[in-house]
Amino acid sequence: MSSDIPTPNLPPVLRPENPLHRSLRELADRFGVGTRGEIGDVVVTGITLATADLRAGEAFVAIRGVNRHGAEFAPTAAEKGAVAIITDEGGAAIAADAGLPIVVVDDPRGTLGALSAWVYSTGADDKLPLLFGTTGTNGKTSVSHLLEGILRQIGVTTGLSSTAERHIAGQVIVSRLTTPEASEFHALLALMRERQVEAVAVEVSAQALSRHRVDGLMFDVAGFTNLTHDHLDDYADMAEYFEAKLPLFLPDRSRRGVVSLDSAAGARVVERAGIPVVTIGTPLIAPDPDAARAADWVVDIVEERQSGTRFSLTARDGRTLTTVVPVIGPHMAANAGLAIVMLLEGGYAWDRIVAALDRDGGVTAYLPGRTELVSGERGPAVYVDFGHSPDAFEKTLAAVRRVTPGKVLMLFGADGDRDATKRHDMGRAGVLGSDILVITDHHPRFEEPSGIRRTLIEGARLAQPDAEIHEYSPPETAIVEAVKLVGDGDAILWAGPGHQDYRDIRGVRTPYSARELARRALRDAGWPVPEPRWSVPYSD
């Protein structure tokens, strides 16, 4: 449902600087099943779901929410300069007194993508940047940032839309959602086109596909990372979760695909894809190493260091390169390999990519909050990571273990009001992959934090009854105590918060940075810390 109440700490929604002027009459003829009021020669310059972001000259799309109808905010939309309301029959009755012309559509949510594509001229047949979309449970953000990083290395003006950030030709803005609403995304794409962006890397969640956020877009290349236990608060079971991902690999969404065989779901995506696909596998981490080895492209790990992972990428035709991704773990090398093959499928030349990677000594992308090393040369290595699933814990802990001479401490909490079925498995993965486990809070939302912690500890104790487990709340205390439990040569993996700059506590976004808290705890304990690499929250 749309809202006229702005949410604190949210970055702005971006629009094209020179918007098109679209006839409301033509919009109604194309998409409407009826109108209310005088349409006349009204001109529309944009479209939005939220009156908090509405700009004068735009149309306000009012959809029915769980408890209220967005049409209730039509008077606010009129006050802020909206020129029309787009809604369903029920919404039209509610908005009748707002004094604005109304276009009635059968399904405002389901029509939003097509409406937005028409308003901003960002549909499949329009002149647009190349679109690279990545889906999967884990690795979507990393692949998106790696795609953009390599594109920049080969001299391309880039755009990015990920859980962490939006990038437009060098401008950086913190993200609101993993994948923005369709109206916001099409506006963003129109702005990127204005700024001469050549290629855009997009993180595409299952929810984005289910909730029509990428409707009206045509991806030039779609990538699939993996499918593991997560989001069963949104989907009935893993089968339904898989089905939610699959539409990205159908011809009305994408032109070509690259599919990783590093989870069992990869082979099923290949089998059911309706577009041409190539495969990639990492035998070291794939459940079926032989199938991974038989993929069109194969990633092999050459060397693992705290500063990054050296790997080779080899094609069936014999082409091969060896390079470095600047984060630890075979799963990160797999992500980099997937990004490279997606670029090849998008038409970028092999020699051009290889030359740039050789020149720069590897991939130079920055992955905010993805196994991000925030500590210095002495003292415990501290990694802050966004991983929040059992599979992510297992892979990242194994990577940390291989580059750590001493003990490994795992620090994490779990989301409140989200998939509770994975909490025991999170505790199990955390305790089995570490020497010391510290349980704390994450985003409690409207749940009682102590109950979340209790379930995580229960899962850990069931897996390893004699493990060293500590419980601290809040996380500001937990990281201080965790640093006291380790020393030089040891490592801390703080999983969950990653790049995020807030905690959701009873619906309030409380300012919070795990990266800064970790640096402060290290500094207070007497360990040197480097200058931070991350950017300011957003810039206008």
DSSP string, 261-277: -SSTHHHHHHHH-SS-E
How far is Cα 237 from Cα 111, in angstroms, rounded to an integer?
27
pLDDT number for residue 8: 42
Average pLDDT, the chain: 92
| 474 upstream amide cis, omega within 30 of 0 | yes
pLDDT number for residue 176: 59
pLDDT number for residue 538: 30
pLDDT number for residue 11: 57
Residue 299 pLDDT greater than 90, yes or no: yes
pTM for the whole structure: 0.85
Residue 5 pLDDT greater than 50, yes or no: no
pLDDT number for residue 455: 97
**pLDDT tens column, 395-425:** 899 999 999 999 999 999 999 998 899 999 9
- In degrees and rounded to multiples of 5, residue 218 shows phi and psi of -125, 115
Q: Classify domain 22-120 at the CATH superfamily level.
A: MurE/MurF, N-terminal domain (3.40.1390.10)
Q: Which whole number is the average pLDDT over 485-497?
A: 96
pLDDT number for residue 391: 86
- In degrees and rounded to multiples of 5, residue 295 shows phi and psi of -65, 165
Which listed CATH number (3.40.50.740, 3.40.50.1370, 3.40.1190.10, 3.40.50.1000) goes with 130-360?
A: 3.40.1190.10
Give span(s): CATH 3.40.1390.10, the chain: 22-120
Task: Give the model's confidence band at 495: pLDDT under 50 very low, under 70 low, under 90 confident, else very high.
Answer: very high
Q: Which residue has the higher pLDDT, 124 or 85?
A: 85
Measured CA distances, 137 to 71, 132, 142, 244, 393 (Å): 35, 17, 12, 11, 13
Residue 4 pLDDT greater than 70, yes or no: no
pLDDT number for residue 532: 82
pLDDT number for residue 498: 83
Give span(s): CATH 3.90.190.20, the chain: 372-524
Give span(s): CATH 3.40.1190.10, the chain: 130-360
pLDDT number for residue 42: 97
Flag the least confident range among 175-184, 237-246, 294-303, 408-417: 175-184
Q: Which whole number is the average pLDDT over 244-257?
A: 96
Q: Classify domain 372-524 at the CATH superfamily level.
A: Mur ligase, C-terminal domain (3.90.190.20)
How many H helices and E strands in the chain? Answer: 17, 26
Per cent of the chain over pLDDT 70 is 94
pLDDT number for residue 164: 78
pLDDT number for residue 175: 65
Q: Which whole number is the average pLDDT over 247-258?
A: 97
pLDDT number for residue 534: 52
DSSP string, 399-426: HHHHT-SS-EEEEE---TTS-GGGHHHH
Residue 177 pLDDT greater than 60, yes or no: no
> Are the C-beta atoms of residues 339 and 345 closer than 8 Å to each other?
no
DSSP string, 191-207: HHHHTT--EEEEE--HH
Flag the least confident range among 89-98, 338-347, 365-374, 527-536: 527-536
Q: Which whole number is the average pLDDT over 185-206?
A: 95
